[in-house]
Structure 1
Amino acid sequence: MPPRDGRATLSTVARSAGVSVTTVSKVVNGRPDVGAGTRALVESLLAQHDYIGRRSPAAEGSPATARIEVVLEGDLNAYSTKIIQGVLDAGGEAGIGVAIGTQAGADASRPRGWARDLAAAGRRAVIAVVDEPPSTDRAALSRAHLPLVVIAPLNPQRERVTSVGSTNFAGGMAAAQHLLALGHRRIGYVGGSSRSARDQARMHGYRAALEAAGVPVPDDYQRTGDSRYQDGIAGGAAQLDLPERPTAVFAGSDETAAGVIEAARARGLRVPDDLSVVGFDDTEVARLTSPPLTTVRQPLREMGGVALRTALRLAAGEKLDSHHVELATELIVRGSTAARQVGGGADPATR
């Protein structure tokens, strides 16, 4: 199916040559791992379709030239690093260069014509690791004919925004079910923003597991913030200072979980003897906490790879079956959770 603007795409050329889009992409980017006969055929068809004329001068003969732009919101951290690694790995496999910027979300300060500049520099699509791409950015990319793929957006069901995420509800449910199986009945939650459908799905999964087990969820046992270390300290402190403190806490991110562990340490509580803690993401933070963190693994590298391949499909003019893809989460059990201890902070009903 030809693109609506009438321009030839990688998919157009690939169909004419009887090869894959990846092979055409390698030729366009000057990769050496294409047979001479295939290269000659593809280059001939690129010229016939006037595709070569649209390549930026910098792209000629330079395999490392970036074709995909990744934009970040905020500072690079353990979470975004794993996603970017997945994008880079998939880009390397496809022979596609990747550039990384950190201006996503700053629509007020975005230079005018930035999307046109990206297209002129040879970018074929944009991958955003942001909570919520500004509407002005989305409109600018659309005008420049640059497809956008968002990784783990706040609201993944937004129409006409292609995104890749994970099974947040199932992950939250798995975390709570793990704590219930260990005998905990007073289980707190310290998570992300109440404005985020992504974070709300994690909390609703936690609540669904507790409600199915007939375990009440007091309002004081639910705290929201920005999924950072300091939010974990603040939320953990608020819950651990309650007259009837939780014996376990599910945190909406590994950073938040690390903050909860610090709040427990500051109060002389031991993890997991006095408090079990579960995180979410399975970043490097989960292996650096003491003890190592039980967490819900979000397949961040795989999400980056899927986003890269999806961006290439959109750039090739292909139609997607769904605008949002969710990859499965998995509970990873480490040393921060243990069976509920009877006595001390134990539930009164089970003493």
Structure 2
Amino acid sequence: MPSLRGRVTLATVAASAGVSVATVSKVLNGRSDVSESTRARVQEILREHEYVGRRPEPVVDRAAVELFYQGVLNSYSLEVIQGVVEAGQAADVDVVVSAHPERAQARSASTGRAAPWIREMTANGRRAVIGITSELTAADVAALSRARLPLVVVDPMNVVQPDVTSVGSTNFAGGMAATQHLLSLGHRRIAYLGGPPTSGCNQARMNGYRGAMEAAGAPVPKDYVWMREFLYDDGLAGGAALLDLPDPPTAIFAGSDEVALGAMEAARARGLRVPEDLSVVGFDDTQVARLASPQLTTVRQPIREMGAVALRTALQLAAGEKVDSHHVELATQLIVRDSATEPARVSS
């Protein structure tokens, strides 16, 4: 096979495959009047040499921003998406929602080439990128920077570089407020049922919990802190583990509303009543908190506003404007409903 040096063109691909330029063009355009063996040979050469070809400049009537998420969509991420989309409508900006690509697609930053998903966003005329609870690598961030695509992350799972712009809430203060509420009701055996140990927002909520417990002189046994993900099934498993302890907690502070609902179901499966036998406080104040039975006491994050701030910040960066801070925290608020009360008295 002839070596393809310099810029790869249709003519060089055709010469390497031993076919005409017209045949290569037919393969690129998906025409059916090409034999399967010829099509396979041309496609192999195109793949080997990463032929992209000249793409027409995208006709973009409105600016477009890519919004990607990682993992399973849940009540929290759906509300963030709604906040971004609503802010996009107000700013006359299109928001394109996609799942985060698999790690296997990422290229090392040392190659000097953007990962395929980043090249595609650039080709499609995206102005900026917003990620929801996504775990980005240094290579991802470097590739986005080389592509001149501003990045804003909502509640990042990790912060690989200190200058990555992010939007979150006052997670530490929220964790402290939730725990202080349970302490004020008379609970001392309070457990924390949280999300991924490496997640920044999870660590802040847990530290708020620990801070409130330490200030009250309430002990935190090692088994009283259980962390996995922010999903219902994790709350179910974690709630079961906590309630099956020899000395189970009388209250659980859950790192998300879905985790809280899972813990409540674990309690019901053991014949325990919420809140009479077990008090539960969540975090987020998504729609599921109001649909729960009993309705969930929780820490409200301004989730849709977080999405809106992320969109506005991304547009500022895309316009070359400076932002006041690389990390924005919006205030949380404790919402008291029906899932927490005084601990049950044990008769002597």
Q: TM over 0.5, yes or no?
A: yes
Q: CA deviation at 1:93?
A: 1.1
1:231 aligns with 2:228: no
Q: How does 1:21-40 map to 2 (within 5 A)?
A: none
Alignment-mate amino acid for residue 109 of structure 1: Q
Deviates more, 1:244-253 or 1:306-315: 244-253
Which residue is equivalent to 2:71? 74
Provide the rounded CA distance (Å) in 1 between the counterparts of 2:159 and 2:205. Answer: 14
SS at match of 1:71: strand
SS at match of 1:211: helix
CA RMSD of aligned residues (A): 1.8
Deviates more, 1:290-299 or 1:262-271: 290-299
CA contact (8 A) 1:157 1:324 kept: no
Provide the rounded CA distance (Å) in 1 between the counterparts of 2:230 and 2:69. Answer: 17
Q: CA deviation at 1:76?
A: 2.2
4+ residue runs over 4 A deviation: none
Provide the rounded CA distance (Å) in 1 between the counterparts of 2:211 and 2:115. Answer: 46
Q: CA deviation at 1:197?
A: 2.5
Q: CA deviation at 1:255?
A: 1.1
Which residue is equivalent to 2:133? 130
Aligned pair count? 286
% identical equivalent positions: 61
1:244 aligns with 2:247: yes
| Partner deviation per Cα, 1:28-61 (whole Å, 9 max, x = no partner) | xxxxxxxxxxxxxxxxxxxxxxxxxxx94421xx
CA contact (8 A) 2:115 2:143 kept: no
Q: CA deviation at 1:158?
A: 3.5
Q: How does 1:112-127 map to 2 (within 5 A)?
A: 112-127=115-130
Structure 2: 5+ residue runs without aligned partners? 1-55, 107-113
Q: CA deviation at 1:205?
A: 0.3
1:108 aligns with 2:129: no
- Flag the structure with larger Rg: 2
CA contact (8 A) 2:254 2:260 kept: yes
Provide the rounded CA distance (Å) in 2 between the counterparts of 1:227 and 1:132. Answer: 14
| Partner deviation per Cα, 1:113-170 (whole Å, 9 max, x = no partner) | 4323212222110001133212232222111111000110124584121110111110
Alignment-mate amino acid for residue 262 of structure 2: G
Provide the rounded CA distance (Å) in 1 between the counterparts of 2:151 and 2:257. Answer: 28
Q: CA deviation at 1:229?
A: 1.3
Instruction: Identify if the C-alpha distance between structure 1 residues 309 and 339 changes in structure 2 by more than 3 Å, giving closer, same or farther.
Output: same
TM-score by length of 1: 0.77
Q: CA deviation at 1:74?
A: 1.8
TM-score by length of 2: 0.78
CA contact (8 A) 1:126 1:146 kept: yes
Alignment-mate amino acid for residue 239 of structure 1: L
Provide the rounded CA distance (Å) in 2 between the counterparts of 1:215 and 1:130. Answer: 32
CA contact (8 A) 2:235 2:262 kept: yes
SS at match of 1:242: coil
CA contact (8 A) 1:229 1:255 kept: yes
1:283 aligns with 2:262: no
Q: CA deviation at 1:77?
A: 1.8
Alignment-mate amino acid for residue 231 of structure 1: D
Provide the rounded CA distance (Å) in 2 between the counterparts of 1:259 and 1:242. Answer: 17
Alignment-mate amino acid for residue 287 of structure 1: R
Which residue is equivalent to 1:317? 320
Provide the rounded CA distance (Å) in 1 between the counterparts of 2:140 and 2:94. Answer: 22
